């Protein structure tokens, strides 16, 4: 029954084809196909994770060949975490996308393709196969970013495509170096050959490490290789921003950790302390620069995007420590960040759909106008800041404790003060939401509560930006600040549930840590 393993990759891909073909019969049926596919994927990945809990890691070689000649798929605690995260997030975002769109069938084809690509990246045990899935993921992501109306998203998508391809190509070059040095591509086999025959200080291995890491840094969006990311997140449709901000960089960071520790192993970092130092330095720079840039943004989605640069700095910092506690922390933070950041993008989407507000300035007085959305957004923001006992705090605790254990004081300082850096940009938002009065933009009428204007002119809402394709722009004038009617229950539900989870899931982390502990121990041994 281990045949379930390749099915985890195949299922979303097949569903993607079905979604596309369903468009022949009936347009706008893609969402339903995606829903069925995602539910099945959640069930499948949950079952796989259950088996990992029960029996330990699952190894499967496609086509019944033997390692290292065939391609191996591995599901251990960490990859199980990723595939479940991917499936659940995809399902959650679907709940949002039903009303918010985009709604075309090819869109959901690409959506499911992304799920398949990310799942493949998570479970593959072969370095070149990782590249193939990286490119599938990349293609799906570029396309999804470009799925928004208007030229802006196309420009962002093209930029992303060019930079992302360079990243993937450098990754491929890194694989080339490793292959030239060892003659094999299976991760476990590579680790063995590097350790026994080639040696950790060989130039080829160092070069391979450098290219693989830089290539994945591009995909993770570590400063200064993040340049594609803010515009891509900001210009994509809200559903897509949420999905890719939650998953693409996350799985890339997972791949980074996987490659560093499974292929190159801890011994490589020990033999090349400079490599670990450079990782840590890149992480620290990313945390600080990402936060500073986030503070400088006026567009909320761009701010959230830069926030991701900073948060992935924390993950990379944890990865550079080669310490069990920190590594668990990296995964807690990966999952936590995925949930919180994805939901923050969705919350920003709810706000934009309901009020048209997309810049920080336009968030003035949002607490009055949209209490539920604003409240969820604030809770998620605080969780992101790391206010205890939220998920954001727990992840940070593990990472920081790992830094203390290894005596990395400089990194510890960066990690704990990232709280303040994160606060700097989120407090600004929260202050505007709750502690400023809403001021209707100049030249608008019919928005002040006591302004007895002609009802019906509220079509002129506070919206200077493009709304999603289906935004019909009609809202009823209930004499209040302009509220669009097209925020569905599903859109609210996802955001609110995520906010609640962000607060409460921290309590479950210790259990999770027990679950991944053996995997992490093996990874770092």
Partner 1 sequence: MTDVSSLRPLATVLVSAVAIAPILASRGRPNLRESWTMLAALATFGLSASMVPGVLAGDTYVTDFGTFLPGVESGSVAFALQADALGLLFALLASALWVITSLYSIGYMRGLDEDSQTRYFAAFAGSVSAAVGVALADNLVVLFVFYELLTVATYPLVTHDQTDEARAAGRKYLAYTFGGGVAVLAGTLIVVWLTGTADFTAGGIAALAESDPAMARLAFTLLVTGFGVKAALMPMHSWLPDAMVAPTPVSGLLHAVAVVKSGVFGIARVVLDVFGPETVSDLGMGLPLAVVAAFTIVVASIIALRQDNLKRRLAFSTVSQLSYIVLGLALLEPRALAGGLLHIPAHAFMKLTLFFCAGAIHVETHTDDISEMAGIGKRMPGTMIAFGIASLGMAGIPLVAGFVSKWYLLIGSVQAGGVVFAGALLVSGVLNVAYFWPIVYQAFFESEDAVGSKPLIENPFGGRDAPVPDGGRNADDEPAGATDGVADPDEGEYAVDRNPSDHVVEHSASKRAESPDAAHADEDAESDRAVPDDADHNGPYEPEHYDHVADDEDAPEHHHAGPPAGGWERRALSSETTWFMLGPILTAATGAVVLGIVPDRVAFLRLVEIVVAGATGVTL
Partner 2 sequence: MSTLEFALVAFVLATGLATAVLRDVLGSIIAFAAYSLGIAVVWVVLQAPDVGLTEAAVGAGVTTVLFLLTIAKTVRPSGERTLERLDLPALGVAVALVAVLATTLGALPPVGGAETPVATSEVTSYYLENAYHEAGVENVVTAVLAAYRGFDTLGEAVVVYAAGVGVLVVFQREVFA
Partner 3 sequence: MIDAFAPRYLYLVTFLLLGIGTYMMIGNRNLVKKVIGMNLFQTGIFLFFIAAAYVEGASPAVLTREAPHVSPLPHVLILTAIVVGVSLTAVALGLIVRIYADYGTLDADVLWEVRHDD
Q: Which stretch binds partner 1 (CB under 8 A): 14-22, 153-161, 239-247, 414-422?
A: 414-422
> Which residues is 186 bridged to in the sheet?
126
209 touching partner 2, by CB under 8 A: no
- Which residues are within 8 A (CB) of 60 and not within 5 positions of it... i.e. 6 or more apart? 2, 3, 5, 6, 72, 73, 74, 75
109 touching partner 2, by CB under 8 A: yes
Choosing from 11, 18, 127, 140, the residue that interacts with partner 2 (CB under 8 A) is 140
CB 161 within 8 A of CB 142: yes
CB 115 within 8 A of CB 86: yes
Could you count the other beta carbons within 10 Å of the beta carbon of residue 63? 8
Choosing from 40, 62, 139, 524, the residue that interacts with partner 3 (CB under 8 A) is 139
Q: Choose the contact partner of 166 out of partner 1, partner 3, partner 2, none; CB within 5 to 8 A by kind.
A: partner 3
Rounded to a whole number of angstroms, the distance between the first and last alpha carbons of the chain is: 30
372 touching partner 1, by CB under 8 A: no
436 touching partner 1, by CB under 8 A: yes
Cβ distance to partner 2 smaller for residue 157 or 305: 157
21 touching partner 2, by CB under 8 A: yes
Q: Choose the contact partner of 155 out of partner 2, partner 3, partner 1, none; CB within 5 to 8 A by kind.
A: partner 3
- Which residues are within 8 A (CB) of 149 and not within 5 positions of it... i.e. 6 or more apart? 466, 468, 469
Distances in Å between the Cα of 261 and the Cα atoms of 187, 303, 362 are: 10, 32, 45
Cβ distance to partner 1 smaller for residue 217 or 397: 397
SS (H, E, C) 129-169: HHHHHHHHHHHHHHHHHCCCCCHHHHHHHHHHHHHHHHHHH
Q: What is the DSSP letter of 362?
A: G
What part of residues 57-96 is at the interface with partner 2 (CB under 8 A)?
62-63, 65, 68-71
Choosing from 435, 451, 464, 470, the residue that interacts with partner 1 (CB under 8 A) is 435
Choosing from 405, 451, 459, 470, the residue that interacts with partner 1 (CB under 8 A) is 405
Choosing from 202, 285, 448, 524, the residue that interacts with partner 2 (CB under 8 A) is 202
- Which residues are within 8 A (CB) of 288 and not within 5 positions of it... i.e. 6 or more apart? 310, 313, 414, 421
Q: Choose the contact partner of 245 out of partner 2, partner 1, partner 3, none; CB within 5 to 8 A by kind.
A: none
Which structure tokens are listed for 93?
């975002």
524 touching partner 1, by CB under 8 A: no
Q: How far is the CB of 302 from partner 1 (least distance, A)?
A: 22
What part of residues 159-218 is at the interface with partner 3 (CB under 8 A)?
161-162, 165-166, 169, 172-173, 176, 179-180, 183, 185
Could you count the other beta carbons within 10 Å of the beta carbon of residue 460? 14
Query: Taken in order 49, 122, 307, 354, is the CA torsion positive or negative?
Result: negative
507 touching partner 1, by CB under 8 A: yes
Q: What is the CA radius of gyration of the chain?
A: 23
Q: How far is the CB of 134 from partner 2 (least distance, A)?
A: 10
Query: Taken in order 367, 373, 377, 379, is the CA torsion positive or negative?
Result: positive
Q: How far is the CB of 343 from partner 1 (least distance, A)?
A: 19
DSSP string, 472-525: -------SSS---S---HHHHHHHHHHHHHHHHGGGGHHHHHHHHHHHHHHHH-
CA dist., res. 249 & res. 312, Å (int): 8
Choosing from 20, 156, 289, 344, the residue that interacts with partner 3 (CB under 8 A) is 156
CB 133 within 8 A of CB 120: yes
Cβ distance to partner 2 smaller for residue 127 or 378: 127
Q: Give the interface with partner 1 as residue ranges (CB under 8 A).
A: 325, 328, 382, 385, 387-389, 393-394, 397-398, 400-401, 404-405, 412-413, 416-417, 419-420, 423, 427, 431, 434-437, 506-507, 509-510, 513
Q: Give the interface with partner 2 as residue ranges (CB under 8 A).
A: 6, 13, 16-17, 20-21, 23-24, 27, 62-63, 65, 68-71, 104-107, 109-110, 113, 116-117, 120, 126, 128-129, 132-133, 135-136, 139-140, 142-144, 146-147, 149, 154, 157, 177, 179-185, 198, 202-204, 207
Q: Give the interface with partner 3 as residue ranges (CB under 8 A).
A: 128, 131-132, 135, 138-139, 142-143, 146, 150-152, 154-158, 161-162, 165-166, 169, 172-173, 176, 179-180, 183, 185, 231, 235
């Amino acid at each position: 029954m281990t045949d379930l393993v390749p099915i985890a990759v195949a299922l979303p891909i097949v569903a993607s084809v079905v979604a596309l073909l369903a468009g022949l019969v009936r347009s706008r049926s893609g969402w339903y196909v995606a829903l069925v596919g995602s539910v099945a994927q959640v069930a499948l990945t949950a079952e796989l994770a259950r088996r990992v809990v029960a029996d330990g890691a699952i190894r499967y070689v496609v086509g019944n060949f033997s390692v290292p000649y065939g391609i191996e798929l591995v599901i251990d605690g960490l990859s199980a975490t990723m595939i479940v995260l991917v499936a659940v997030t995809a399902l959650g975002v679907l709940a949002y996308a039903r009303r918010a769109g985009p709604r075309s069938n090819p869109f959901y084809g690409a959506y499911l393709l992304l799920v398949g690509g990310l799942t493949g990246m998570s479970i593959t045990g072969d370095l070149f196969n990782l590249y193939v899935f990286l490119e599938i993921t990349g293609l799906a992501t570029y396309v999804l970013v470009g799925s928004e109306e208007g030229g802006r998203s196309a420009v962002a998508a093209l930029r992303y495509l060019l930079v992302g391809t360079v990243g993937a190509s450098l990754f491929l070059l890194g694989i080339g170096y490793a292959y030239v040095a060892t003659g094999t591509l299976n991760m476990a086999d590579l680790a063995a050959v590097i350790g026994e025959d080639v040696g950790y200080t060989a130039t080829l291995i160092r070069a391979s490490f450098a290219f693989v890491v830089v290539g994945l840094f591009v995909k993770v969006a570590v400063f200064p290789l993040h340049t594609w990311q803010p515009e891509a997140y900001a210009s994509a449709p809200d559903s897509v921003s949420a999905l890719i901000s939650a998953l693409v960089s996350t799985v890339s960071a997972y791949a980074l950790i996987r490659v560093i520790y499974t292929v190159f192993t801890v011994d490589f970092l020990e033999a090349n302390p400079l490599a670990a130092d450079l990782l840590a330095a890149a992480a620290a720079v990313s945390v600080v620069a990402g936060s500073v840039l986030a503070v400088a943004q006026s567009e909320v989605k761009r701010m959230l995007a830069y926030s991701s640069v900073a948060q992935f700095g924390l993950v990379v910092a944890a990865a550079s420590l080669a310490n069990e506690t920190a590594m668990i922390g990296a995964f807690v933070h990966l999952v936590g960040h995925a949930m919180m950041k994805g939901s923050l993008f969705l919350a920003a989407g709810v706000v934009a759909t309901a009020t048209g507000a997309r810049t920080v300035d336009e968030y003035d007085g949002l607490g009055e106008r949209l209490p539920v959305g604003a409240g969820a957004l604030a809770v998620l923001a605080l969780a992101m800041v790391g206010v205890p006992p939220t998920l954001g705090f727990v992840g940070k605790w593990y990472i920081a404790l790992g830094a203390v254990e290894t005596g990395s004081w400089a990194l510890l300082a960066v990690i704990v003060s990232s709280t303040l850096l994160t606060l700097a940009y989120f407090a600004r938002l929260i202050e505007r939401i709750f502690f400023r009065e809403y001021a209707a933009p100049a030249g608008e009428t019919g928005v002040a509560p006591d302004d007895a204007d002609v009802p019906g002119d509220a079509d002129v809402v506070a919206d200077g930006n493009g709304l999603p394709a289906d935004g019909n722009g009609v809202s009823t004038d209930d004499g209040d600040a302009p509220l669009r009617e097209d925020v569905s229950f599903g859109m609210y539900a996802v955001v609110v549930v995520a906010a609640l989870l962000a607060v409460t899931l921290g309590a479950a982390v210790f259990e999770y840590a027990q679950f991944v502990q053996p995997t992490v121990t093996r990874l770092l041994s």
